Amino acid sequence: QPHISYKDNTMHMEQVSITAIAKVIPTPFYCYSASAIKDCYLDYKNAFSQQDTLICYAVKANSNQAILALLANLGAGADVVSEGEIRRALKAGISADKIVFSGVAKKESEIIFALNNNILQFNVESEPELTLISEIASKLNKVAAISIRVNPNVCANTHAKITTGKSENKFGIPIAKAREVYKYAASLSGIKVQGVDVHIGSQLTDLQPFEQAFAKVAEFTTLLKSDGHDISVIDVGGGLGIDYDENETPPNKDAYAALVNKQLGHLNCKIIVEPGRSIVGNSGVLVSTVVYVKKGEERQFLIIDAGMNDLIRPSMYDAYHQIKPINHTNDKTECYDVVGPVCETGDTFTKNRALPTTQAGDLVGILSCGAYGSVMASSYNTRLAAPEVMVQDDHFSVIRARPTYDDIINQDTIPEWL
Ligand code: LLP
């Protein structure tokens, strides 16, 4: 995490002291490094510079307009999964001809919206979806460019809730059955078959499952070509993991790009990659204040003002996130359970972790919160969504303000008949 460092014992994001930000923005808040995001994107770009590649950032990882605009300026496309994400991508300046639309449950209204905006392609996940897209396209006098998401039945070695390429998962069409589905697609007047799509899961920490999946996709693409389909695009999905733990070294982007080239290069197709986490994940810190240090009978709790509603990953996936003091003035360590304010035992960020001795009022940073942090937040317990701040060099801006209590309470209406 090269954009985070300690200067005078205080954590800095690029050249900005996080303590200084916390003086003007009450915690909890998310703090992102623009340079970190830019560097991760450029790493992908350089890694794939030898191949005709479009990098479609997976908007779901973090869909803040500032982040999308930053990536749009660098030439990124977008992988989206809803009309809302198409709207966000377009509004931030990502052009429609760089948008791919994934997801198992695209609804009629969303398909109409995507077709009217002339997106690059639909990644289709089922036969009924093909039928519906074709019908809608024909009505609109359009032809929808599609890839079919094939399910290669490989084990991604990641958390069960984020593995997607096994035959028991709801995603894609089993590769053994997909040949027929391509034949069906080619028979539909509203459809133009242009590619093959695969995505096997998220937070993959080694390349081997990708290698297996891409080998199957290569073989299958050759078969499709021999069947007469004009396959010009291969979308390899996202999923490259990041180091949540200091001791982890996930595969680097050059090795990943080399693998794509080795397995798929001979097919002369345009490659689409859909990275999310590996672009924004390590750019973000969730900054929180210790409200109380509570000594239980068996354990000590650091009760902080960020909760599972701000970052659900630990309770949902047992995810590990580094937790660091923002002001590192104490070398003595103690073991703590770090917990949030929400009324559930699952509102736990870590158990029994050795951290520098901490007092109420101290700031702590939960690292690697750039991806699947704020986007998965809720206002459970009527807690206000944590604001988001972006840092670049020596300055910062709020890129999403904290709502007011009125904002959220006034979303409700009491019926007049009550
Ligand atoms: N493409 C498709 C079709 C996807 O479903 C996903 C993620 C991506 C690309 C981007 O994957 P990435 O490069 O970020 O791994 N909330 C979970 C992760 C869910 C991932 C869902 N799909 C978490 O916090 O770990």
Of the residues 277, 320, 321, which should be mutated to test ligand 1's pocket, given the most ligand atoms within 8 Å of the CB? Answer: 277
Strand ranges in 22-74 using DSSP code E only, listed in sequence order = 29-33, 53-58
Which is the closest atom of ligand 1 to the Cα of 278?
Answer: 13
Ligand 1 proximal residues by C-beta, below 6 Å = 58, 61, 79, 102, 162, 199, 202-203, 237-240, 274-278, 313, 317, 371-372
Task: Convert 337-359 into a string of H (helix), E (strand) and C (coil).
Answer: EEECCCCCCCCEEEEEEEEECCC
- Between these two residues, 288 and 296, which has the higher pLDDT value? 288
pLDDT, tens digit, for every residue of 302-333?
A: 999 999 999 999 999 999 999 999 999 989 99
**Predicted local distance difference test score (pLDDT) of residue 164:** 82
**Predicted local distance difference test score (pLDDT) of residue 410:** 97
Write the DSSP symbol of residue 260: H
Q: For residue 308, what are its two tokens?
A: 């599972």
Share of the chain above pLDDT 90, in %: 93
SS3 category, 9: coil
pLDDT, tens digit, for every residue of 135-154?
A: 999 999 999 999 999 999 99
Model confidence at 72: pLDDT above 90: yes
How many angstroms is it from 157 CA to the middle of ligand 1?
14
pTM of structure: 0.97
Q: For residue 396, what are its two tokens?
A: 């910062």
Strand ranges in 198-309 using DSSP code E only, listed in sequence order = 233-235, 270-273, 284-295, 300-304
How many angstroms is it from 61 CA to the middle of ligand 1?
7
**Predicted local distance difference test score (pLDDT) of residue 226:** 98
Q: How much is the ipTM here? A: 0.99
Q: What integer is the mean pLDDT of 320-347?
A: 96
Confidence of residue 162 (pLDDT cuts 50, 70, 90): confident
Q: What integer is the mean pLDDT of 353-366?
A: 97
**Predicted local distance difference test score (pLDDT) of residue 247:** 86
Q: What integer is the mean pLDDT of 282-305?
A: 96
SS3 category, 203: coil
Identify which of 62, 51, 104 has the alpha carbon closest to the alpha carbon of residue 388. 62
Direct distance between the N- and C-terminal alpha carbons of the chain, in angstroms, rounded to an integer: 54
Identify which of 74, 387, 171, 216 has the alpha carbon closest to the alpha carbon of residue 224. 216
Q: Contact 15/396 with Cβ under 8 angstroms?
A: no
Q: What integer is the mean pLDDT of 253-274?
A: 98
* Residues in contact with 252: Cβ distance below 8 Å, sequence separation at least 6, in sequence order: none
* Residues in contact with 354: Cβ distance below 8 Å, sequence separation at least 6, in sequence order: 333, 334, 335
Q: Contact 370/281 with Cβ under 8 angstroms?
A: yes
- The residues with which 290 forms a beta bridge, in sequence order, are 304
C-alpha angle 350-351-357 in degrees, rounded to nearest 5: 90
Q: Contact 308/321 with Cβ under 8 angstroms?
A: no
Model confidence at 297: pLDDT above 80: yes
CA-CA-CA-CA torsion sign (121, 125, 204, 87): positive
Of the residues 44, 55, 63, 202, which should be mutated to test ligand 1's pocket, given the most ligand atoms within 8 Å of the CB? Answer: 202
Distance of CA 87 to the CA centre of its chain: 17
Residue nearest to atom 22 of ligand 1 (CA): 202
Model confidence at 413: pLDDT above 80: yes
Identify which of 316, 322, 293, 312 has the alpha carbon closest to the alpha carbon of residue 385. 312
Domain ranges of the chain: 4-32+281-409, 34-279
**Predicted local distance difference test score (pLDDT) of residue 192:** 98
Is the fold of 4-32+281-409 the same as that of 34-279? Answer: no
Consult the annotation and say whether 344 binds a ligand.
Answer: yes
Q: For residue 391, what are its two tokens?
A: 């840092």
How many angstroms is it from 410 CA to the middle of ligand 1?
33
Which is the closest atom of ligand 1 to the Cα of 61?
Answer: 14
| DSSP per residue, 157-190 | -S-GGGB--STTSSSSEEHHHHHHHHHHHHT-TT
List C-alpha distances in Å: 146 to 133, 141, 158, 176, 199.
9, 16, 28, 19, 15
CA-CA-CA-CA torsion sign (244, 247, 248, 253): positive
Q: Domain 34-279: which topology?
A: TIM Barrel (3.20.20)
Model confidence at 163: pLDDT above 90: no
SS3 category, 218: helix
Which is the closest atom of ligand 1 to the Cα of 281?
Answer: 14
pLDDT, tens digit, for every residue of 173-225?
A: 999 999 999 999 999 999 999 999 999 999 999 999 999 999 999 999 999 99
Question: Quick check: is 56 catalytic?
Answer: no
Model confidence at 47: pLDDT above 80: yes
**4-32+281-409: CATH number:** 2.40.37.10
Share of the chain above pLDDT 70, in %: 100
The number of helix segments (H) and strand segments (E) in the chain equals: 12, 21
Q: Contact 29/364 with Cβ under 8 angstroms?
A: no
How many angstroms is it from 94 CA to the middle of ligand 1?
20
Residue nearest to atom 8 of ligand 1 (CA): 238
Consult the annotation and say whether 211 binds a ligand.
Answer: no
Model confidence at 294: pLDDT above 90: yes
The CA distance from 231 to 106, in Å, is 23
Which is the closest atom of ligand 1 to the Cα of 164?
Answer: 5
